[in-house]
Amino acid sequence: MFWGDNGQGKTNLLEAVYLLATLKSFRGAKNKELIRFERTGAGSTTAAATCTVIKGRLLAADLPRDYQVTVDGTGKRVRIDGKDPRGLPHYFEGIKAVAFVPSDLRMVDGGPELRRSFLDRASFTLDPTYLELARDYAAALKQKNALLRQAKSTGRPPDRALIDVWNDKLIVAGVSVVVRRVAFLKAFAPVFRGVHEGITGAAKGRAEIRYRGPVSAEAVNGGEVGIAAELRRKVEGALAQEVRRGHATVGPHRDDWELRVGGEPLRSFGSQGQVRSAALAMRMAVMVLTKQAAGVCPLFLLDDVSSELDASRNRQLMERLTELQAQVLVTTTSLSNLKLAGAGYSAFRVSDGRVDLDV
Protein backbone atom coordinates (compact mmCIF):
# COMPACT_ATOMS: atom_id res chain seq x y z
CA MET A 1 0.00 0.00 0.00
CA PHE A 2 1.48 3.34 -1.08
CA TRP A 3 -0.19 6.28 0.63
CA GLY A 4 0.29 10.01 0.78
CA ASP A 5 -1.19 13.30 -0.34
CA ASN A 6 -2.08 13.95 -3.95
CA GLY A 7 0.75 15.03 -6.25
CA GLN A 8 3.52 13.21 -4.32
CA GLY A 9 4.37 10.56 -6.92
CA LYS A 10 2.17 7.56 -6.08
CA THR A 11 0.79 7.17 -9.58
CA ASN A 12 4.27 7.68 -11.07
CA LEU A 13 5.46 4.69 -9.09
CA LEU A 14 2.67 2.45 -10.40
CA GLU A 15 3.27 3.72 -13.92
CA ALA A 16 6.94 2.75 -13.65
CA VAL A 17 6.03 -0.80 -12.59
CA TYR A 18 3.45 -1.08 -15.37
CA LEU A 19 5.93 0.25 -17.94
CA LEU A 20 8.54 -2.31 -16.86
CA ALA A 21 5.99 -5.12 -17.28
CA THR A 22 4.23 -4.02 -20.47
CA LEU A 23 6.49 -1.38 -22.11
CA LYS A 24 3.38 0.84 -22.20
CA SER A 25 2.17 3.70 -20.04
CA PHE A 26 -1.34 3.30 -18.68
CA ARG A 27 -1.71 7.04 -19.34
CA GLY A 28 -0.89 6.53 -23.01
CA ALA A 29 2.21 8.73 -22.56
CA LYS A 30 4.76 9.04 -25.35
CA ASN A 31 8.40 8.10 -24.76
CA LYS A 32 9.55 11.71 -24.37
CA GLU A 33 6.86 12.25 -21.72
CA LEU A 34 8.27 9.42 -19.60
CA ILE A 35 11.62 11.12 -19.09
CA ARG A 36 11.84 13.43 -16.09
CA PHE A 37 12.75 17.07 -16.60
CA GLU A 38 15.73 18.40 -14.65
CA ARG A 39 14.80 21.39 -12.52
CA THR A 40 16.76 24.09 -10.73
CA GLY A 41 15.66 26.92 -8.47
CA ALA A 42 12.01 27.91 -8.03
CA GLY A 43 10.92 24.81 -9.94
CA SER A 44 11.99 26.18 -13.35
CA THR A 45 12.62 23.61 -16.06
CA THR A 46 16.12 23.84 -17.53
CA ALA A 47 16.47 20.74 -19.70
CA ALA A 48 15.19 17.24 -20.15
CA ALA A 49 17.29 14.28 -19.09
CA THR A 50 18.50 12.12 -21.97
CA CYS A 51 16.85 8.92 -20.77
CA THR A 52 15.06 7.16 -17.96
CA VAL A 53 15.85 3.69 -16.61
CA ILE A 54 13.48 1.41 -14.70
CA LYS A 55 14.78 -1.70 -12.97
CA GLY A 56 12.92 -4.40 -11.10
CA ARG A 57 13.86 -7.69 -9.48
CA LEU A 58 11.35 -10.52 -9.76
CA LEU A 59 11.23 -13.94 -8.20
CA ALA A 60 10.26 -16.68 -10.67
CA ALA A 61 10.28 -20.23 -9.28
CA ASP A 62 12.29 -18.82 -6.35
CA LEU A 63 14.98 -17.56 -8.74
CA PRO A 64 15.70 -13.80 -8.90
CA ARG A 65 15.52 -12.19 -12.34
CA ASP A 66 16.53 -8.59 -13.02
CA TYR A 67 14.41 -6.76 -15.58
CA GLN A 68 15.32 -3.38 -17.03
CA VAL A 69 13.84 -0.98 -19.56
CA THR A 70 15.62 2.14 -20.83
CA VAL A 71 13.60 4.89 -22.51
CA ASP A 72 15.26 7.56 -24.63
CA GLY A 73 14.68 9.54 -27.81
CA THR A 74 15.09 6.47 -30.00
CA GLY A 75 12.58 4.25 -28.19
CA LYS A 76 12.78 1.55 -25.51
CA ARG A 77 15.43 -1.10 -24.88
CA VAL A 78 14.95 -4.07 -22.56
CA ARG A 79 17.33 -6.39 -20.72
CA ILE A 80 16.92 -9.50 -18.59
CA ASP A 81 19.76 -10.20 -16.19
CA GLY A 82 21.87 -7.69 -18.11
CA LYS A 83 21.36 -9.43 -21.47
CA ASP A 84 19.14 -8.85 -24.49
CA PRO A 85 16.11 -11.19 -24.41
CA ARG A 86 15.38 -13.60 -27.28
CA GLY A 87 12.72 -11.23 -28.57
CA LEU A 88 9.85 -9.45 -26.86
CA PRO A 89 7.66 -12.56 -26.33
CA HIS A 90 10.48 -13.98 -24.18
CA TYR A 91 10.63 -10.76 -22.17
CA PHE A 92 6.87 -10.71 -21.59
CA GLU A 93 6.66 -14.37 -20.62
CA GLY A 94 8.48 -13.58 -17.38
CA ILE A 95 6.73 -10.41 -16.26
CA LYS A 96 3.04 -9.56 -16.42
CA ALA A 97 0.94 -6.81 -14.87
CA VAL A 98 -2.66 -5.63 -14.97
CA ALA A 99 -3.56 -2.10 -13.90
CA PHE A 100 -6.85 -0.55 -12.82
CA VAL A 101 -6.86 3.25 -12.91
CA PRO A 102 -9.74 5.76 -12.66
CA SER A 103 -9.71 6.39 -16.43
CA ASP A 104 -10.57 2.70 -17.00
CA LEU A 105 -14.24 3.57 -16.53
CA ARG A 106 -14.16 4.86 -20.11
CA MET A 107 -13.62 1.26 -21.28
CA VAL A 108 -17.27 0.68 -20.41
CA ASP A 109 -18.97 3.94 -21.35
CA GLY A 110 -16.42 5.58 -23.68
CA GLY A 111 -15.52 5.16 -27.35
CA PRO A 112 -14.84 1.82 -29.07
CA GLU A 113 -11.09 2.45 -29.39
CA LEU A 114 -10.75 1.93 -25.62
CA ARG A 115 -12.52 -1.42 -25.77
CA ARG A 116 -10.38 -2.49 -28.72
CA SER A 117 -7.30 -1.51 -26.74
CA PHE A 118 -8.53 -3.63 -23.82
CA LEU A 119 -9.05 -6.61 -26.15
CA ASP A 120 -5.55 -6.31 -27.57
CA ARG A 121 -3.81 -5.72 -24.24
CA ALA A 122 -5.70 -8.57 -22.53
CA SER A 123 -5.02 -10.98 -25.42
CA PHE A 124 -1.36 -10.03 -25.30
CA THR A 125 -1.18 -10.50 -21.50
CA LEU A 126 -2.48 -14.05 -21.92
CA ASP A 127 -0.31 -14.83 -24.95
CA PRO A 128 2.62 -12.54 -25.89
CA THR A 129 2.65 -13.96 -29.45
CA TYR A 130 -0.49 -11.89 -30.12
CA LEU A 131 1.80 -8.85 -30.28
CA GLU A 132 3.22 -9.88 -33.66
CA LEU A 133 -0.25 -10.46 -35.13
CA ALA A 134 -1.43 -7.04 -34.02
CA ARG A 135 1.74 -5.43 -35.40
CA ASP A 136 1.35 -7.14 -38.77
CA TYR A 137 -2.19 -5.84 -39.05
CA ALA A 138 -1.20 -2.32 -37.96
CA ALA A 139 1.65 -2.25 -40.51
CA ALA A 140 -0.62 -3.30 -43.39
CA LEU A 141 -3.28 -0.81 -42.32
CA LYS A 142 -0.72 2.01 -42.17
CA GLN A 143 0.50 1.29 -45.72
CA LYS A 144 -3.00 1.05 -47.15
CA ASN A 145 -4.07 4.27 -45.44
CA ALA A 146 -1.03 6.05 -46.88
CA LEU A 147 -2.12 5.06 -50.41
CA LEU A 148 -5.70 6.14 -49.75
CA ARG A 149 -4.64 9.51 -48.34
CA GLN A 150 -2.43 10.12 -51.35
CA ALA A 151 -5.28 9.26 -53.72
CA LYS A 152 -7.65 11.62 -51.91
CA SER A 153 -5.15 14.50 -51.86
CA THR A 154 -4.22 14.15 -55.55
CA GLY A 155 -7.68 13.30 -56.83
CA ARG A 156 -6.25 10.32 -58.71
CA PRO A 157 -7.27 6.67 -58.20
CA PRO A 158 -4.81 4.68 -56.09
CA ASP A 159 -2.54 2.12 -57.71
CA ARG A 160 -4.89 -0.88 -57.76
CA ALA A 161 -2.04 -3.40 -57.75
CA LEU A 162 -0.61 -1.85 -54.57
CA ILE A 163 -4.05 -1.64 -52.96
CA ASP A 164 -4.53 -5.36 -53.71
CA VAL A 165 -1.16 -6.18 -52.14
CA TRP A 166 -2.02 -4.37 -48.91
CA ASN A 167 -5.58 -5.70 -48.92
CA ASP A 168 -4.18 -9.24 -49.07
CA LYS A 169 -1.88 -8.56 -46.11
CA LEU A 170 -4.68 -6.77 -44.26
CA ILE A 171 -7.05 -9.71 -44.70
CA VAL A 172 -4.51 -12.36 -43.65
CA ALA A 173 -3.52 -10.41 -40.54
CA GLY A 174 -7.10 -9.31 -39.91
CA VAL A 175 -8.38 -12.89 -39.88
CA SER A 176 -5.79 -13.79 -37.24
CA VAL A 177 -6.74 -10.77 -35.11
CA VAL A 178 -10.47 -11.55 -35.33
CA VAL A 179 -9.91 -15.22 -34.48
CA ARG A 180 -7.84 -14.30 -31.41
CA ARG A 181 -10.31 -11.65 -30.25
CA VAL A 182 -13.30 -13.98 -30.63
CA ALA A 183 -11.45 -16.77 -28.80
CA PHE A 184 -10.46 -14.38 -26.02
CA LEU A 185 -14.01 -13.09 -25.49
CA LYS A 186 -15.37 -16.64 -25.49
CA ALA A 187 -13.00 -17.54 -22.64
CA PHE A 188 -13.33 -14.14 -20.98
CA ALA A 189 -17.14 -13.90 -20.80
CA PRO A 190 -17.84 -16.62 -18.17
CA VAL A 191 -14.87 -15.56 -16.06
CA PHE A 192 -15.93 -11.92 -16.20
CA ARG A 193 -19.47 -12.91 -15.23
CA GLY A 194 -18.25 -14.79 -12.16
CA VAL A 195 -15.90 -12.00 -11.04
CA HIS A 196 -18.57 -9.37 -11.62
CA GLU A 197 -21.10 -11.30 -9.56
CA GLY A 198 -18.53 -11.72 -6.79
CA ILE A 199 -17.82 -7.99 -6.59
CA THR A 200 -21.36 -6.68 -7.01
CA GLY A 201 -23.53 -9.47 -5.65
CA ALA A 202 -25.52 -9.28 -8.91
CA ALA A 203 -27.82 -12.15 -9.83
CA LYS A 204 -26.16 -14.93 -11.81
CA GLY A 205 -26.31 -14.69 -15.58
CA ARG A 206 -27.17 -10.99 -15.69
CA ALA A 207 -23.84 -9.89 -17.19
CA GLU A 208 -23.16 -10.66 -20.85
CA ILE A 209 -20.77 -9.62 -23.61
CA ARG A 210 -21.61 -8.94 -27.27
CA TYR A 211 -18.89 -8.71 -29.92
CA ARG A 212 -19.37 -6.40 -32.90
CA GLY A 213 -16.66 -7.29 -35.40
CA PRO A 214 -16.11 -6.76 -39.13
CA VAL A 215 -17.88 -9.99 -40.12
CA SER A 216 -21.13 -11.73 -39.23
CA ALA A 217 -21.60 -14.42 -36.60
CA GLU A 218 -22.16 -16.91 -39.44
CA ALA A 219 -18.74 -16.08 -40.87
CA VAL A 220 -17.14 -16.47 -37.44
CA ASN A 221 -18.79 -19.88 -37.09
CA GLY A 222 -17.15 -20.81 -40.40
CA GLY A 223 -13.70 -20.40 -38.86
CA GLU A 224 -10.75 -18.78 -40.63
CA VAL A 225 -12.09 -19.68 -44.09
CA GLY A 226 -15.48 -18.12 -43.39
CA ILE A 227 -13.98 -15.01 -41.81
CA ALA A 228 -11.50 -14.52 -44.67
CA ALA A 229 -14.17 -14.88 -47.38
CA GLU A 230 -16.55 -12.33 -45.84
CA LEU A 231 -13.78 -9.93 -44.82
CA ARG A 232 -12.38 -9.95 -48.38
CA ARG A 233 -15.82 -9.33 -49.85
CA LYS A 234 -16.40 -6.37 -47.54
CA VAL A 235 -12.91 -4.91 -47.95
CA GLU A 236 -13.02 -5.04 -51.74
CA GLY A 237 -16.57 -3.68 -51.82
CA ALA A 238 -15.58 -0.67 -49.72
CA LEU A 239 -12.80 0.61 -52.00
CA ALA A 240 -14.78 3.49 -53.55
CA GLN A 241 -15.90 4.70 -50.12
CA GLU A 242 -12.37 4.36 -48.74
CA VAL A 243 -10.91 6.42 -51.58
CA ARG A 244 -13.43 9.19 -50.89
CA ARG A 245 -12.66 9.19 -47.16
CA GLY A 246 -8.92 8.66 -47.45
CA HIS A 247 -8.71 5.77 -44.98
CA ALA A 248 -9.67 2.10 -44.57
CA THR A 249 -13.20 1.67 -43.29
CA VAL A 250 -13.43 -2.14 -43.00
CA GLY A 251 -11.45 -4.39 -40.70
CA PRO A 252 -10.88 -5.26 -37.03
CA HIS A 253 -9.50 -1.75 -36.43
CA ARG A 254 -13.19 -0.81 -36.33
CA ASP A 255 -14.24 -3.55 -33.88
CA ASP A 256 -16.35 -2.92 -30.82
CA TRP A 257 -18.01 -4.95 -28.08
CA GLU A 258 -20.39 -4.13 -25.27
CA LEU A 259 -21.21 -5.17 -21.74
CA ARG A 260 -24.83 -5.77 -20.82
CA VAL A 261 -26.33 -6.32 -17.39
CA GLY A 262 -29.93 -7.47 -17.16
CA GLY A 263 -30.19 -7.12 -20.94
CA GLU A 264 -29.32 -3.41 -20.95
CA PRO A 265 -26.02 -2.00 -22.29
CA LEU A 266 -23.99 -0.48 -19.46
CA ARG A 267 -22.58 2.13 -21.84
CA SER A 268 -26.01 3.73 -22.18
CA PHE A 269 -27.88 2.81 -19.01
CA GLY A 270 -25.32 1.89 -16.35
CA SER A 271 -25.00 3.93 -13.16
CA GLN A 272 -21.58 5.19 -12.11
CA GLY A 273 -21.39 2.39 -9.54
CA GLN A 274 -22.23 -0.24 -12.15
CA VAL A 275 -19.68 1.16 -14.59
CA ARG A 276 -16.95 1.18 -11.94
CA SER A 277 -17.67 -2.39 -10.88
CA ALA A 278 -17.76 -3.63 -14.48
CA ALA A 279 -14.45 -1.96 -15.37
CA LEU A 280 -12.79 -3.45 -12.29
CA ALA A 281 -14.26 -6.88 -13.02
CA MET A 282 -12.84 -6.67 -16.57
CA ARG A 283 -9.32 -6.18 -15.23
CA MET A 284 -9.67 -8.86 -12.57
CA ALA A 285 -11.07 -11.37 -15.06
CA VAL A 286 -7.90 -10.91 -17.15
CA MET A 287 -5.89 -11.77 -14.04
CA VAL A 288 -7.91 -14.94 -13.47
CA LEU A 289 -7.54 -16.04 -17.09
CA THR A 290 -3.80 -15.33 -17.08
CA LYS A 291 -3.32 -17.34 -13.90
CA GLN A 292 -5.23 -20.24 -15.46
CA ALA A 293 -3.12 -20.07 -18.64
CA ALA A 294 0.32 -19.31 -17.20
CA GLY A 295 0.04 -20.68 -13.68
CA VAL A 296 1.17 -17.34 -12.22
CA CYS A 297 -1.03 -14.41 -11.37
CA PRO A 298 0.07 -11.04 -12.81
CA LEU A 299 0.91 -8.11 -10.59
CA PHE A 300 -2.23 -6.09 -9.94
CA LEU A 301 -1.82 -2.32 -9.79
CA LEU A 302 -4.71 -0.25 -8.42
CA ASP A 303 -4.42 3.52 -8.52
CA ASP A 304 -6.60 5.42 -6.03
CA VAL A 305 -9.13 2.59 -6.07
CA SER A 306 -10.72 3.78 -2.83
CA SER A 307 -12.21 6.76 -4.65
CA GLU A 308 -13.86 4.52 -7.24
CA LEU A 309 -15.70 2.01 -5.03
CA ASP A 310 -18.03 2.23 -2.07
CA ALA A 311 -17.05 0.54 1.21
CA SER A 312 -18.96 -2.69 0.51
CA ARG A 313 -17.50 -3.24 -2.95
CA ASN A 314 -14.08 -2.21 -1.71
CA ARG A 315 -14.23 -4.97 0.89
CA GLN A 316 -15.47 -7.51 -1.67
CA LEU A 317 -12.61 -6.51 -3.97
CA MET A 318 -10.00 -7.16 -1.29
CA GLU A 319 -11.56 -10.53 -0.52
CA ARG A 320 -11.39 -11.54 -4.20
CA LEU A 321 -7.76 -10.43 -4.43
CA THR A 322 -6.89 -12.45 -1.35
CA GLU A 323 -8.45 -15.51 -2.96
CA LEU A 324 -6.38 -14.94 -6.12
CA GLN A 325 -3.17 -14.75 -4.08
CA ALA A 326 -1.99 -11.93 -6.29
CA GLN A 327 0.76 -9.48 -5.49
CA VAL A 328 -1.04 -6.14 -5.35
CA LEU A 329 0.24 -2.58 -5.36
CA VAL A 330 -2.37 -0.02 -4.30
CA THR A 331 -2.21 3.77 -3.96
CA THR A 332 -4.46 5.79 -1.67
CA THR A 333 -4.48 9.07 0.20
CA SER A 334 -5.21 7.25 3.48
CA LEU A 335 -4.89 3.66 4.63
CA SER A 336 -8.28 4.00 6.30
CA ASN A 337 -9.84 4.07 2.81
CA LEU A 338 -8.96 0.41 2.27
CA LYS A 339 -10.82 -2.46 3.90
CA LEU A 340 -7.90 -4.73 4.74
CA ALA A 341 -9.03 -6.60 7.82
CA GLY A 342 -7.11 -9.86 8.02
CA ALA A 343 -5.06 -9.16 4.88
CA GLY A 344 -1.28 -9.09 5.03
CA TYR A 345 0.25 -5.94 3.64
CA SER A 346 3.12 -3.49 3.91
CA ALA A 347 2.51 0.26 3.98
CA PHE A 348 4.81 2.81 2.38
CA ARG A 349 4.58 6.57 2.74
CA VAL A 350 5.12 8.55 -0.49
CA SER A 351 6.15 12.18 -0.11
CA ASP A 352 7.78 14.47 -2.69
CA GLY A 353 8.88 11.51 -4.81
CA ARG A 354 10.39 9.58 -1.88
CA VAL A 355 9.08 6.17 -0.82
CA ASP A 356 9.66 5.14 2.79
CA LEU A 357 8.50 2.09 4.73
CA ASP A 358 5.76 3.18 7.14
CA VAL A 359 6.70 1.57 10.47
- What's the CATH code of the domain at 212? 1.20.1050.90
Confidence at residue 263, expressed as pLDDT on a 0 to 100 scale: 83
Task: Tell me, yes or no, whether 338 lies in a domain.
Answer: no
Quickly state the pLDDT bin for 131 (edges 50, 70, 90). confident
Task: Tell me, yes or no, whether 294 lies in a domain.
Answer: no
pTM (whole model) above 0.75: yes
Computed on alpha carbons and rounded to an integer, the radius of gyration of the chain in Å comes to 22
Confidence at residue 335, expressed as pLDDT on a 0 to 100 scale: 79
pLDDT digits (tens, 9 = 90+) for 257-269: 988 888 888 888 8
Quickly state the pLDDT bin for 43 (edges 50, 70, 90). low
Task: Tell me, yes or no, whether 168 lies in a domain.
Answer: yes
Confidence at residue 316, expressed as pLDDT on a 0 to 100 scale: 74
Enclosing domain of residue 218: 112-279
Task: Tell me, yes or no, whether 329 lies in a domain.
Answer: no
Q: Residues 2-7: what's their mean pLDDT?
A: 91
pLDDT digits (tens, 9 = 90+) for 290-341: 888 877 788 999 998 665 566 777 777 777 777 878 889 999 888 777 766 5
Alpha-carbon 23 to chain mean position: 11
Q: What's the number of domains the chain is made of?
A: 1
| Better-scored residue on pLDDT, 270 or 227 | 227
Give the residue among 39, 36, 37 at the shortest CA–CA distance from 54. Answer: 36
Which of 115-119, 147-151, 289-293, 314-318 shows the lowest mean pLDDT across its residues?
Answer: 314-318
Burial 141-160 (b: 16+ CB within 10 A, else e): bebbbebbeebbeeeeebee
Q: How far is CA 89 from CA 56, 60, 85, 116, 137, in A?
A: 18, 16, 9, 21, 17
Task: Tell me, yes or no, whether 120 lies in a domain.
Answer: yes
Confidence at residue 309, expressed as pLDDT on a 0 to 100 scale: 61
Tell me how crowded residue 279 is: count the other CB atoms within 10 A of its CB.
24
Task: Tell me, yes or no, whether 95 lies in a domain.
Answer: no
Task: Tell me, yes or no, whether 19 lies in a domain.
Answer: no
Q: How far apart are CA 257 and CA 206, in angstroms?
A: 17
CB 89 within 8 A of CB 131: yes
Q: How far apart are CA 81 and CA 344, in angstroms?
A: 30
In the chain, what percentage of residues exceed pLDDT 70? 92
The three-state secondary structure class of 89 is helix
Q: How far apart are CA 220 and CA 178, in angstroms?
A: 9
Task: Tell me, yes or no, whether 288 lies in a domain.
Answer: no
